[in-house]
């Protein structure tokens, strides 16, 4: 993989990691458009550069998190279900889900429909968005974690299902997005660490391509900083409908491409 493709993938990861549109799906789609084969090293690269995006959240919110025991406790309980699913389904996730464009297309469409339905319910006052992060309890934290575990399927979107589950529970949009940022820290860092451990032989035999990982990491970090700040501002004034529509369009394009 050359420098330009590395930068493009880093940009895609950074921009999409925290938007509810599935960064994994966009990385896989972009790789196919750029004719980058899904080798073991490529899969490692796509997981590794997520850490760059997560570092942006640490950079922005470290002071807020380091002294807030309640949020840290809730993050632990939200992380548990995802950790268990990721550990026991590692091979299936890597060798089945990441290879299927059908999974991606269908997941994009289904979650997009849910976004639109939930926003309709919010508009009709069937769901009231009043709660803030500080009101999360252990029960809600576990529900959010169970929802996040669905994101092992590319196209679902980790940020998307976290935000969606929190909207159903009555949390404000920007607060839901912020909690999804926080939850990404243990989730993605541990996924990256575990993937590096499982793929250590691949890494050792591709040390000459270490620069690809580092450049992708740095580019992802920079563009994630921009994306995080933008999303919080956007969700304070807007709904998730635009993301639902976007997911529908991309999902339909993928499925139509497969049929052709």
| pLDDT tens, residue by residue, 106-136 | 999 999 999 999 999 999 999 999 999 999 9
Count up the domains in the chain and report the number: 1
What is the distance between the alpha carbons of residues 178 and 184, in angstroms, rounded to a whole number? Answer: 10
Q: Is 40 or 108 the better-scoring residue by pLDDT?
A: 108
Residue 55's contacts (CB-CB under 8 Å, 6 or more residues apart) are 221, 224
Contact 38, 28 (CB under 8 A): yes
What is the distance between the alpha carbons of residues 130 and 225, in angstroms, rounded to a whole number? Answer: 27
pLDDT in tens, 219-244: 999 999 999 999 999 999 999 999 99
Q: Is the pLDDT of residue 175 over 80?
A: yes
Note down the domain range covering 145.
3-259
Structure-token pair, residue 81: 């279900």
Average pLDDT, the chain: 89
Residue 96's contacts (CB-CB under 8 Å, 6 or more residues apart) are none
Q: What is the mean pLDDT of residues 69-76?
A: 95
Q: Note the pLDDT of residue 97.
A: 53
Side-chain-side CA neighbours of residue 232 (13 Å): 14
pLDDT band at 201 (very low <50, low <70, confident <90, very high): confident
Q: What is the mean pLDDT of residues 25-46?
A: 85
pTM of the model: 0.90
What is the distance between the alpha carbons of residues 64 and 169, in angstroms, rounded to a whole number? Answer: 23
Q: Is the pLDDT of residue 95 over 70?
A: no
Q: How many helices (H) and strands (E) does the chain have?
A: 12, 0
Q: Note the pLDDT of residue 225.
A: 96
């Amino acid at each position: 993989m050359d420098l330009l493709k590395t930068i493009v993938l880093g940009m895609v990861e950074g921009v999409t990691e925290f938007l509810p549109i599935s960064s994994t799906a966009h990385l896989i789609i972009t790789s196919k458009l750029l004719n980058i084969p899904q080798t073991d090293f490529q899969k490692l690269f796509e997981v590794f550069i997520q850490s760059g995006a997560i570092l942006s959240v640490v950079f922005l919110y470290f002071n807020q998190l380091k002294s807030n025991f309640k949020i840290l406790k809730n993050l632990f309980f939200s992380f548990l279900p995802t950790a268990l699913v990721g550990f026991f389904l590692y091979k299936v996730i890597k060798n089945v889900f990441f290879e299927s464009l059908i999974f991606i297309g269908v997941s994009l469409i289904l979650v997009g429909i849910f976004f639109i339905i939930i926003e309709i319910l919010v508009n009709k006052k069937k769901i009231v968005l009043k709660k803030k992060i500080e009101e999360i309890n252990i029960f809600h934290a576990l529900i959010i974690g169970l929802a996040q575990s669905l994101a092992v399927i590319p196209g679902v979107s980790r940020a998307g299902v976290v935000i969606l589950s929190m909207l159903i529970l009555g949390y404000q949009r920007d607060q839901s997005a912020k909690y999804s940022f926080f939850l990404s820290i243990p989730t993605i860092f541990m996924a990256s660490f575990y993937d590096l451990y499982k793929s250590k032989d691949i890494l050792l035999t591709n040390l000459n391509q270490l620069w690809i990982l580092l450049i992708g990491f740095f580019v992802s970090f920079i563009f994630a900083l921009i994306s995080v700040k933008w999303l919080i501002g956007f969700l304070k004034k807007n709904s998730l409908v635009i993301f639902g529509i976007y997911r529908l369009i991309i999902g339909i394009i993928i499925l139509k491409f497969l049929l052709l």
